[in-house]
Amino acid sequence: MEEVKKQIDELRSFLHAQNYNYYVLNNPVISDQEFDMKMKELQALEALHPEFADPNSPTQRVGSDISMSFAQVTHERPMLSLGNTYNEQEIRDFWLRLDKQLARPFEIVCELKFDGTAISLIYENGELVRAATRGNGVVGDDVTRNVKTIRSIPLKLTGDYPARLEMRGEIIMPRAGFEALNNQRIEIGEIPFANPRNAAAGSLKLQSSSMVAQRPLDCILYYVLTDDIDFETHTQSLDMAKNWGFKISPHYKLCKSIDDIFDYINHWAEKRETLPYDIDGIVFKVNNLAMQQELGFTAKNPRWAISYKFKAEQAHSRLLSIAYQVGRTGVVTPVANMEPVQLAGTVVRRASLHNADIIDTLQLHVGDTVVVEKGGEIIPKIVGIDEELRPEGAQPVEFPKVCPECGTPLVRIEGEAAHYCPNITGCKPQITGRLIHFVSRKAMNIESIGEETVELLFERKLISSISDFYRLKLEDLLYLDGFAYKSAENVIRGIEESKKVPYPRVLFALGIRFVGETTAKILAKAFPNITLLANASKEQLLEIEEIGDRIAQSVIDYFANLENLKTVTELRDFGLQMEQSAKTPDSTALAGKSFVISGTFANHSRDELKELIENNGGKMLSGISSKTDYLVAGENMGPAKLEKASKLNVPIISEDKLMDLINNTAK
């Protein structure tokens, strides 16, 4: 056993180091494949030896499927906000006040003000034990499980760290990840996030940490609190924190004069667009910690620090028209066409308006002079109008009543912001959108077919449904412009290869509204073949932790459509993967035994327990019956299941007892 424990510890140390190299230093030293192999090796050992469980193991980065409401925690020291300033004179006033109060030379640390959500991290003996949001500054939400999924946050520290430590910083979402996330949301018919700050805050408060693990979150730390080390300066503490494994921004600067401060402000006012993430200003702190203590605090803010906020970049332009785009899920999105205007280093001609409510709120008229903003936004947005410049006779913008592509009356579902075209079989952009989505990289990944090819095949009436791809013949393509024998052969070969794509990706490729890549994996795990999913009731779908009413109803509606059922049947007949591939059990410890799981558990999520049961030969049941051998009971188990198990004399066992069953009979 000591040898196994040593092997597990060595793997954990190795993977912690690789996470630090990749996510903090941006300097990976091993391949992704080697990392994945080591991770799988550790996961296997931990599954076989739960007695060596560690909540800060690298395997916990994937998150858990346990749904949670966040507990409230009191901060050990209040998380005060900074006073804001927006002009040079207020910065000069801050400097002069410090000069008068301190009456001796001092230095100011200038730091970037990250546009995210504040976080407090508590470490004991080098291990992360708690993460909490700012909340009201005194009490915040305990988001430890979610924070542990963020790769740039160390779960275990390195070097000569203090016994107890609090780190404060900002959870952010880099622009590239934000843009990819919004594209995914638009793809499945959801309203995109307004900016990376909202996306980061919303992601951190998701109820399932396994979903948080799918979000491209990052964390930059900027403040060290500990009673175990007497730092002289703030910059000294930041340098030390780097050695412990924290991601610290390299862009801070020590300033000894007011001119140095303005040079720093002017530099980042011009260069902030070159950063991979958003900043909304600059933070100034007295560097000497003894001076900070001497200056003290007001009721709301520290007297030794202040923040300068950049004004959101705005420009004025003239609204020429509104275009209405129809996506593959039928969502109609209004886009403003404007006279070209320079904004944040780029020429802007279009701005998203998202939905009819925004148009009504702005009271837009064609010809209006509009205020366009790109402060913290990837996509420019219209934030206001100048009514005094409105042309005489300008007509108010009215959201269309019918689809701009096919003329079908639009619908708006109660509680949703978007309008939809319900004509899923006769609206061209919906049809071509579904076809393009089906062949895309994250779906069926038919590389030889791009958007232009899909449009051409549709125009020539060779495809109108996703199943039509599998009816294409070589001779069909040879008659098309731009297709030589070799390129036509590549298309047919790519289509044939796509039949090997696993079931979860096929499910995603079907284009069910609100079913993105992650949701498709969750559904595939809960319903391991397409027949089970197609016949699932809404109640069965809602039993899955991450599946809410909107997704459940969308799945029900999809399979209630006869055309969709016909398409799925055809795809299955063509040989696509419509069930999870069979896996050889790790052992036969639970062979012949049937289990039901209920409640939440300390060491495993319900899905992890299900996987352990199935991997050791057991069978999962959706409900308790006379055929159930064991009910595995956790906290907050429903009383109905407990009562039924008692009535049928089904043995009720704990998570630990289940592990004993596996380990005592596993070979």
Tell me, yes or no, whether 410 lies in a domain. Answer: no
d(CA 446, CA 448): 6
Q: What is the CATH number of the domain that holds 558?
A: 1.10.150.20
- Spatial neighbors of 175 by CB under 8 A, at least 6 apart, are 196, 276, 277, 278, 378
Catalytic residues: 113
Tell me, yes or no, whether 508 lies in a domain. Answer: yes
Check whether residue 438 and residue 479 sit in a common domain.
yes
Containing structural domain, residue 340 = 314-389
Provide the token pair at 371.
Answer: 């205020």
Check whether residue 273 and residue 357 sit in a common domain.
no
Tell me, yes or no, whether 585 lies in a domain. Answer: no
Give buried/exposed letters for 237-249 (b at 16+ CB in 10 A, else e).
Answer: bbebbeebbbbbb
Check whether residue 135 and residue 44 sit in a common domain.
no
3-state SS of the chain: helix, strand, coil percent to 5?
A: 40, 20, 40
Tell me, yes or no, whether 586 lies in a domain. Answer: no
Check whether residue 56 and residue 204 sit in a common domain.
no
- Find tokens 């008229």 and name the residue: 365
Strand pairing partners for 595?
A: 620, 630
pLDDT for residue 64 = 44
- Spatial neighbors of 202 by CB under 8 A, at least 6 apart, are 193
Strand pairing partners for 132?
A: 120, 142
Three-state secondary structure call for residue 143? coil
Q: Count the domains in the chain.
A: 6
Tell me, yes or no, whether 417 lies in a domain. Answer: no
Q: For 535, phi and psi rounded to 5 degrees? A: -100, 5
Check whether residue 259 and residue 342 sit in a common domain.
no
In sign, the C-alpha dihedral spanning 293, 296, 299, 305 is negative
Domain final residue, candidates 260, 275, 309: 309
Are the C-beta atoms of 610 and 620 separated by less than 8 Å? yes
Cβ-in-10-Å burial (0-12, 13-18, 19+) of 298 comes to exposed
Q: What is the CATH number of the domain that holds 366?
A: 2.40.50.140
Check whether residue 147 and residue 269 sit in a common domain.
yes
Check whether residue 362 and residue 278 sit in a common domain.
no
Tell me, yes or no, whether 422 lies in a domain. Answer: no
| Region class of 184: left (phi > 0), else alpha (psi between -120 and 50), else beta | alpha
Domain final residue, candidates 62, 82, 114: 62
d(CA 211, CA 548): 13
Q: What is the CATH number of the domain that holds 35?
A: 1.10.287.610
Three-state secondary structure call for residue 163? coil
Tell me, yes or no, whether 419 lies in a domain. Answer: no
Q: For 560, phi and psi rounded to 5 degrees? A: -80, -15
Strand pairing partners for 371?
A: 316, 384
Rg (CA), the chain: 29
Are the C-beta atoms of 561 and 569 separated by less than 8 Å? no
Provide the token pair at 74.
Answer: 């009191």
Check whether residue 496 and residue 513 sit in a common domain.
no
Q: What is the pLDDT of residues 69-121, one digit of tens each?
A: 688 899 999 888 888 887 889 999 999 999 999 999 999 999 999 999 999 99
Check whether residue 211 and residue 251 sit in a common domain.
yes
How do 279-286 and 253-255 pair as beta strands?
Answer: unpaired
Provide the token pair at 572.
Answer: 């299955």
d(CA 434, CA 569): 17
Strands (E), 179-296: 218-225, 253-255, 279-286
Long-range CB pairs of 532-541, under 8 A, 24+ apart, other chains included: 533/507, 533/559, 534/559, 534/565, 534/568, 535/559, 540/622
Q: What is the CATH number of the domain that holds 615?
A: 3.40.50.10190
Are the C-beta atoms of 526 and 65 separated by less than 8 Å? no
Tell me, yes or no, whether 32 lies in a domain. Answer: yes
Q: What is the CATH number of the domain that holds 190?
A: 3.30.470.30
User: Would the pTM count as exceeding 0.85?
Assistant: no
Q: Measured between alpha carbons, how far is residue 149 from residues 21, 218, 261 in Å?
A: 16, 10, 36
Q: What is the mean pLDDT of each run of 10 residues along the chain (667 residues)?
A: 85 83 65 69 81 82 53 89 85 95 96 94 96 89 93 94 96 91 81 84 85 92 95 96 96 96 94 90 96 87 91 87 93 94 82 88 94 70 90 93 97 86 94 96 91 94 96 92 90 95 95 90 92 94 84 95 95 95 74 87 79 85 83 79 84 89 66
Of 33, 29, 4, which is closest to residue 19 (Cα–Cα)?
A: 29
- Spatial neighbors of 511 by CB under 8 A, at least 6 apart, are 328, 329, 434, 437, 438, 466
Check whether residue 463 and residue 328 sit in a common domain.
no
Are the C-beta atoms of 484 and 456 separated by less than 8 Å? no
Check whether residue 171 and residue 244 sit in a common domain.
yes
Cβ-in-10-Å burial (0-12, 13-18, 19+) of 49 comes to middle
Domain final residue, candidates 333, 363, 389: 389
Check whether residue 347 and residue 478 sit in a common domain.
no
- Spatial neighbors of 119 by CB under 8 A, at least 6 apart, are 131, 132, 133, 134, 143, 147, 168, 169, 170, 171, 204, 219
